[in-house]
């Protein structure tokens, strides 16, 4: 049933399953499509194509794998007036995202003090499941301020400067956030977790620029070969997870009222224009702002660690992108401009040059697209393209994508052997738990270079630089 359109695009026709109102499209090569066919990803892409009010196509990026309702690596857009919003189309870790910092330090300056730097970062950045933040529990009014203002709250409270905001998606603050729509339980879970890395696939990595593919963009981004950078990957912690949990239940109950029938109850959704839709979007924006503030505070402590150990803490933000988010945007669909809500679940916005939403200093090259690999492999910086606007609602992949479950990954290698094997590659690791490390065994992920080559060759994002890790902090 899958139709190969070219070397990087595989079409799921509307005849694939009953109820599809739009086609599905998967970006992959021959090897990656075989991996994608091993789980329910293809069926999930088709299931999403049955949602009311969907426009364009239901999409999956080359890092796609099975998720809750929507595949992770999925992109779908609903008509803003007539379509639906789905909590599963954003995911549990709302605004899980990546931030890249660049330094003026060369690899030769950092390597001799790498262990001291990692030890300092590990002390300064709380990591691990349920770990509390350095600032302690926030008062109710303070937490609502965070949920409304995101990274702007963090900067107002001394965790950075206003210039940082220029290189964060949405200026570090999603508009129309409504803390009143975030449950008491969600707030309790998040209250003590601001400024924490968390567990799972979240990390802070010290890396260096190993290769540059686009000199113009790399120069504007402050990326030069041999330059040391830091990549931070985390999200909205327990608060965002609870927001998703709460609204999945609300949406499942509300669907009866709106006579919405689904092929998979995990796709629970409500009309965007309904009270429940508005409440979810307000809560989702609030959780996204919590994540922006979270990454901003981790940035501050990373800068302090660099200053303390290396004497240079002036790390500049290259960019900060959301991975799990639903955003109101305008896109051309079927030859006409449409007001849509774009769900990106494990996908990165990839807007081209001259887009009004991207930083002014990047206006002539495009938005940075940050693609982390696993802790034993490389990561990439790309830029968005016009092709992405034409085909993917301005979206690209977000990482390597899992190929094995966490349970399977843990059985493959001991933490001690994993740390030893990474050190043999020149990668030093600090982890909050042994199981947390083995779950993130690099062999549990797809080849990030293959994933990036697909989006590059398909033209939906173009390679700028390759980053290689030398030090990893894991939850």
Residues with catalytic function = 398
Beta bridge partners of 445: 402
CA–CA gap between residue 272 and residue 255 (Å, rounded): 12
- In the sheet that 3-6 helps form, which strands lie side by side, from edge to edge? 3-6, 9-12, 24-27, 54-65, 72-79, 336-345, 324-333
CA–CA gap between residue 71 and residue 467 (Å, rounded): 27
CA–CA gap between residue 96 and residue 238 (Å, rounded): 12
Single out the residue of 342, 459, 414, 464 nearest to residue 80, CA to CA.
342
Provide the terminal-to-terminal Cα distance of the chain, rounded to the nearest Å: 41
Cα dihedral sign, 282-288-292-297: positive
Name the residue with tokens 């059985």.
411
- 3-state helix vs strand vs coil in the chain, percent to 5: 40, 25, 35
Beta bridge partners of 383: 368, 462
CA–CA gap between residue 473 and residue 131 (Å, rounded): 14
What DSSP line would sit under 13-34, residue for residue? Answer: -GGGSTT--S-EEEE--HHHHH
What length does the chain have?
475
For residue 309, give every residue at least 6 positions away whose Cβ sits within 8 Å of its Cβ, in sequence order, or none: 113, 116, 117, 120
For 5, the token pair is 């359109």
């Amino acid at each position: 049933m899958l139709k190969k359109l070219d070397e990087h695009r595989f079409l799921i026709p509307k005849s694939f399953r009953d109820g599809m109102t739009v086609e599905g499209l998967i970006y992959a090569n021959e090897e990656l499509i075989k991996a994608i066919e091993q789980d329910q990803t293809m069926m999930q892409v088709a299931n999403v194509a049955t949602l009311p009010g969907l426009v364009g196509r239901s999409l999956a990026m080359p890092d796609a794998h099975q998720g809750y309702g929507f595949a992770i690596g999925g992109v779908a857009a609903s008509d803003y007036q007539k379509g639906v919003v789905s909590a599963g189309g954003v995911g549990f870790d709302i605004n899980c995202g990546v931030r890249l910092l660049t330094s003026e330090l060369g690899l030769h300056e950092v390597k001799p003090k790498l262990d001291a730097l990692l030890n300092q970062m590990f002390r300064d950045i709380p990591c691990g499941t349920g770990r509390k933040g350095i600032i302690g529990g926030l008062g109710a009014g303070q937490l609502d301020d965070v949920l409304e203002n995101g990274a702007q709250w963090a900067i107002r409270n001394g965790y950075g400067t206003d210039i940082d905001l220029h290189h964060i998606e949405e200026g570090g603050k999603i508009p129309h956030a409504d803390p009143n729509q975030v449950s008491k339980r969600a707030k309790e879970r998040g209250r003590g977790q601001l400024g924490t890395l968390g567990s799972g696939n979240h990390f802070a990595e010290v890396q260096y620029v190993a290769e540059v593919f686009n000199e113009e963009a790399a120069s504007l981004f402050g990326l030069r070969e041999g330059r040391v950078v830091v990549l931070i990957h985390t999200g909205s912690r327990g608060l965002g997870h609870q927001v998703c949990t709460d609204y999945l239940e609300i949406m499942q109950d509300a669907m009866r009222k709106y006579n919405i029938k689904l092929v998979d109850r995990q796709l629970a959704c409500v009309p965007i224009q309904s009270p429940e839709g508005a409440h979810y979007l307000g809560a989702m924006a609030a959780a996204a702002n919590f994540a922006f503030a979270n990454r901003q505070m981790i940035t501050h402590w990373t800068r302090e660690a660099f200053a303390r150990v290396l004497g240079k803490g002036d790390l500049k933000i290259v960019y900060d992108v959301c991975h799990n988010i639903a955003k109101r945007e305008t896109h051309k669909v079927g030859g006409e401009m449409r007001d849509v809500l774009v769900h990106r679940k494990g996908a990165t916005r990839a807007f081209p040059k001259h887009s009004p939403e991207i930083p002014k200093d990047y206006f002539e090259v495009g938005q940075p697209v940050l693609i982390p690999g696993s802790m034993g492999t490389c990561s990439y910086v790309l830029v968005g393209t016009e092709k992405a606007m034409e085909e993917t609602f301005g979206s690209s992949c977000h990482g390597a994508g899992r190929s094995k479950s966490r349970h399977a990954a843990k059985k493959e290698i001991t933490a001690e052997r994993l740390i030893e094997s990474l050190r043999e590659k020149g990668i030093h690791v600090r982890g909050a738990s042994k199981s947390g490390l083995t779950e993130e065994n690099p062999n549990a992920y797809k080849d990030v270079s293959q994933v990036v080559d697909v989006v590059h060759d398909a033209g939906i994002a173009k390679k700028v630089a390759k980053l290689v890790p030398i030090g990893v902090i894991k939850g």
